[in-house]
Structure 1
Amino acid sequence: MRLRRRLGHRAIAGFTTLLLPFAALVGLASPASAATSATATYAKTQDWGTGFEGKWTVKNTGTTALSSWTVEWDFPSGTSVTSAWDADVTSSGTHWTAKNKSWNGTLAPGASLSFGFNGAGAGSPSNCKLNGGSCDGGPTVPGDSAPSAPGKPTASDITNTSVKLAWSAATDDKGIKNYDVLRDGAKVATVTGTSYSDTGLTAGTDYSYTVQARDTADQTGPVSGATAVHTTGGTTDPPPTGDKVKLGYFTEWGVYGRNYHVKNLVSSGSASKITHINYAFGNVKGGKCTLDDSYAATDKAYTADQSVSGTADTWDQPLRGNFNQLRQLKAKYPNIKVLWSFGGWTYSGGFGEAAANPAAFAASCKALVEDPRWADVFDGIDIDWEYPNACGLTCDTSGFSSFKTLTQALRTEFGSNYLVTAAITADGSSGGKIDAADYGGASQYLDWYNVMTYDYFGAFNAQGPTAPHSPLTSYSGIPTAGFNSADAIAKLKSKGVASKKLLLGIGFYGRGWTGVTQAAPGGSATGAAPGTYEAGIEDYKILKTSCPATGTIAGTAYAYCGNNWWSYDTPATIGSKMTWAKNQGLGGAFFWEFSGDTTNGELVTAINNGLN
């Protein structure tokens, strides 16, 4: 993958604490009567897409007055209360507590009251407690344990107006009586089995479902994990993307000098034309996967106009930054899967140590991907090791089988429910980097390879000869035999890699030389052409007007302007490459990276159109 450029961290000003510590504000009120004599129920009363309004209703179902009440619940990470009325609402992490005001704590038998709040995020409350007891008023029976949580429901047969839910049974020492099905925290049904079909839904709408078990003594257990459902139809469904993978890299550091953010995927129209995003890059240190730039990933605050959801980040929400924006993107485009990519040109030096204890490395990666703050963001992991048993920025000597061993450990750790992929060399030369590692043997553990079929030639050879950095095929005069996409794909197939596990790589940038005197490839040069961020490299969105293509060779374009010579892909050459990829039976295509495209995403459009 391309060289990682750090454009600097941002200093974060400290916030003045507006709330006293949670423990100082909140103490469980001593109930005037047992918790079994009152109930608390939740309803989402409004949902405007970028936020929602919630309401809790407390009812005294007993025979004596309540003198105070405290309602507690948990929200999943990313869901929070932004303002509240008729109760004092505080939080500790994802745990929320609402305590009565001085004027509404007393509830006569049979009386009820409500308090409300505005919220951000899409989650539903769970683990409700009222005055330390059950929120449903069910009895607490001495010697009879409450049931366990049922399994997280799975959703199937989703239509415009309905969904079928199923879950694994809860357990109880005296037996399960029935299950409550909750939609957005409100009970919609009580069933005796472990499935339910919910109907009467709205097309193109997001819902969240949980399930709660009740035993034969009417004791309720904890709520299951939540399952998000997006009904079909409506106006927000993305158009079909076909059965091919269309993957783009989003760079963590792009939010700085490039000023490229997750929302740009929406405004450019690209989000509706891709299937996967690789978030680049996590680091590899001490044999472990590590978060690199926490400010960009988890802390950077977005205003309402900058965010995907149109909701401004608050200073106290559990997760901000790119990860939260990706979460919002996935809510808007449920078909998109996000993988966290580790390594890259700059960070591959740590893979040698990781390969020495692959099981420990894999465990560290899964623990990081499944961190509760962002576990719902990522659908898998991508390994960008440049290069196993060969040289990149540094040289690795871990051996021919090290890559296979590492990928096997990752698959064992992550299982079949996660995507596990790898970006790999496209050196198709005899005895080159593809021959240095067991890519054929490792492919059985991976969903696909991102074959980096670009950067073959460039001004890292300052005097030339000028040559296209991403040739699809060989051509007369190519500086190095095997340095082209067709030879790389053929070599990988010969090693037993299935065609459908190979993605063709596209660069959304060009490589160029200066001091060139001829328009055709093969000319001499004096050095790297000027670039916005790095000499010898420039984004397509700049080159298309600053140095328009003047010819094509080996399935890609080149441009000669002044004394500068550039090569890059255009929508036309990408279209031809996609046709070639389909004819080869490849699994799709990927590209490096989003910010090189135009503001209307013309290169992403070319990939999408070419693979459909």
Structure 2
Amino acid sequence: MRVRSAFLSLVLLSSLASCGSEPEPGPDPAPPPVVAGYFTEWGVYGRGYQVKNLQTSGAAGRLTHLKYAFGEVAGGRCAVGDDWAAHRKPIAAADSVDGVADQPAATLRGSFGQLRKLKAAHPRLRLIWSFGGWTGSAGFAEAARDPAGFAESCRALLADSRWAGLFDGIDIDWEYPNACGLACDRSGPDALTRLLGALRSALGPQALISTAVPGDVTKLRAADYAGASRYANWLGAMTYDYFGAGKGLRTAPHSALSAYPGIPRETATTEATVGELLRLGVPAEKVLVGVGFYGRGWTGVSGAAPGATATGPAPGRFGKGIEDYHVLAARCPPTGTVGGQAYARCGGQWWSYDTPETIAAKVAYARSRSLGGLFAWELAGDTPDAALLTALAAG
């Protein structure tokens, strides 16, 4: 009897000890999918797209990350792009996020002042300052010769007392390292990796660091994007502008999800770009799919289907052969879909662009490949009620 009592006591003590012990830690939960969008510095002018539009459209509540484009790379250092638009322009009450006009003596006005108000209203929204861009990438070659100096200049700029704490990190939009964009770069395949490594050292482990990467698979092979991904939170694949009137006089969707019969170049698709990044060794969770909130168009077209001949680029408000989605959706609505992107024939014009429906397919694709998320270039192209961003965030 005493042996049985002793055994029961041991069982009871063991059970009590088990109840009081700490549970074994489980794996860290996967981060939520990224829903990022670019806000362009120049959009406050001709387009009249203010930070307030992010609030009134509902976009701010759907975004996880907002990228402000672009800062400059001048003399191999980070610098403000347009001082007036960024932090000096007085914002009237009607254009202000909180309905309060900037005071004349305020030390921070412009879009930065409005972004501070937007962030206060949406504390989970992370802000990232993007540097470079298509016309602003020439300075990266000099920056690559002194990565530590470049990184320290970026850290100091983020810490400027006028907007300290506003930005959570930096985005590098170098078009393209060791390849040709507006000009050709010969910085070497490891230049971007060294640049991002220096940024990580200067900004620390908590900062957000991202980089835009080309959609062209041949350009992806020119630089060490797998190495760069070690220091970046994600790589944003520019899976758009595969085709356009400036690249040929036959119509083709500029941002197809997948190949289709008659596509001019088999690798000019989102699936091909993502597949190449994964093949190169970039982790899937660090890849973002890019979605253009605009269309590419031709004029003088000979037929409604893709592959028709044309005479040149269709007119656009801010550039030949390009127009915002919210304009095209009303003026030239879709007449078909090919390769996962909508196209539209209206009169003598032919346009391709994404719609809420085709974006839903791209979101599903990103989920099927366990990618990090998606991003939009750029938010001013959306409708007043953010129809495209709503579809992008739905997944």
What TM-score comes out, normalization by structure 1 length? 0.59
**Cα contact 1:275–1:337 (8 A) shared by 2:** yes
Which residue of the partner structure matches residue 440 of structure 1?
226
Q: Runs (4+) of structure 1 moved beyond 4 Å?
A: none
5+ long unaligned stretches in structure 2: 1-30
Q: Deviation at 1:324? A: 0.6
Which residue of the partner structure matches residue 359 of structure 2?
574
**Cα contact 2:298–2:312 (8 A) shared by 1:** yes
Q: Computing the radius of gyration over CA atoms, which structure comes out larger, 1 or 2?
A: 1
Q: Deviation at 1:480? A: 1.7
Counterpart of 1:352 in structure 2: which amino acid? A
Which residue of the partner structure matches residue 173 of structure 1?
none
Which residue of the partner structure matches residue 251 of structure 1?
40
What are the within-5 Å matches in structure 2 for residues 335-346 of structure 1?
A: 335-346=124-135
1-structure distance, mates of 2:318, 2:360: 28
Listed one character per residue, the Cα deviations across residues 192-214 of structure 1 (whole Å, up to 9, x for unaligned) are xxxxxxxxxxxxxxxxxxxxxxx
Listed one character per residue, the Cα deviations across residues 171-210 of structure 1 (whole Å, up to 9, x for unaligned) are xxxxxxxxxxxxxxxxxxxxxxxxxxxxxxxxxxxxxxxx
Higher relative contact order (CA 8 A, sep 6+): 2
What are the within-5 Å matches in structure 2 for residues 482-493 of structure 1?
A: 482-493=267-278
Which residue of the partner structure matches residue 560 of structure 1?
345
**Cα contact 2:35–2:63 (8 A) shared by 1:** yes
1-structure distance, mates of 2:199, 2:355: 36
**Secondary structure of 2:148's partner?**
helix
**Secondary structure of 2:209's partner?**
strand
2-structure distance, mates of 1:378, 1:397: 31
1-structure distance, mates of 2:91, 2:122: 19
Q: Deviation at 1:421? A: 0.4
Counterpart of 1:287 in structure 2: which amino acid? G
Which residue of the partner structure matches residue 387 of structure 2?
602
Which residue of the partner structure matches residue 219 of structure 1?
none
**Cα contact 1:327–1:376 (8 A) shared by 2:** no
Task: Decide which of 494, 499, 507 is 2:292's aligned counterpart.
Answer: 507
**Cα contact 1:528–1:535 (8 A) shared by 2:** yes
Counterpart of 1:496 in structure 2: which amino acid? G
Listed one character per residue, the Cα deviations across residues 30-70 of structure 1 (whole Å, up to 9, x for unaligned) are xxxxxxxxxxxxxxxxxxxxxxxxxxxxxxxxxxxxxxxxx
Count of residues paired in the alignment: 365
Q: Are 1:321 and 2:107 counterparts? A: no
Q: What is the RMSD of the two structures over their aligned residues, measured on CA atoms?
A: 0.9
Q: Deviation at 1:481? A: 2.6
**Cα contact 2:314–2:320 (8 A) shared by 1:** yes
**Cα contact 2:356–2:387 (8 A) shared by 1:** yes
**Cα contact 2:324–2:382 (8 A) shared by 1:** yes
Which residue of the partner structure matches residue 455 of structure 1?
241
2-structure distance, mates of 1:442, 1:301: 39
Q: Are 1:383 and 2:172 counterparts? A: yes
Q: Deviation at 1:243? A: 1.4
Q: Deviation at 1:561? A: 0.8
Task: Decide which of 472, 475, 479 is 2:260's aligned counterpart.
Answer: 475
Q: Are 1:293 and 2:293 counterparts? A: no
Q: Are 1:536 and 2:321 counterparts? A: yes
**Cα contact 2:363–2:392 (8 A) shared by 1:** yes
5+ long unaligned stretches in structure 1: 1-241
Which residue of the partner structure matches residue 65 of structure 2?
276
Listed one character per residue, the Cα deviations across residues 344-398 of structure 1 (whole Å, up to 9, x for unaligned) are 0000011000001110011111111111110121000000000000000111001
Q: Deviation at 1:407? A: 1.0
Return the structure number with greater strand share. Answer: 1
What are the within-5 Å matches in structure 2 for residues 165-184 of structure 1?
A: none
Q: Deviation at 1:529? A: 0.2
Listed one character per residue, the Cα deviations across residues 556-583 of structure 1 (whole Å, up to 9, x for unaligned) are 1001111111000000000111011101
Counterpart of 2:185 in structure 1: which amino acid? D
What are the within-5 Å matches in structure 2 for residues 215-226 of structure 1?
A: none
**Secondary structure of 2:130's partner?**
strand
**Secondary structure of 1:347's partner?**
coil
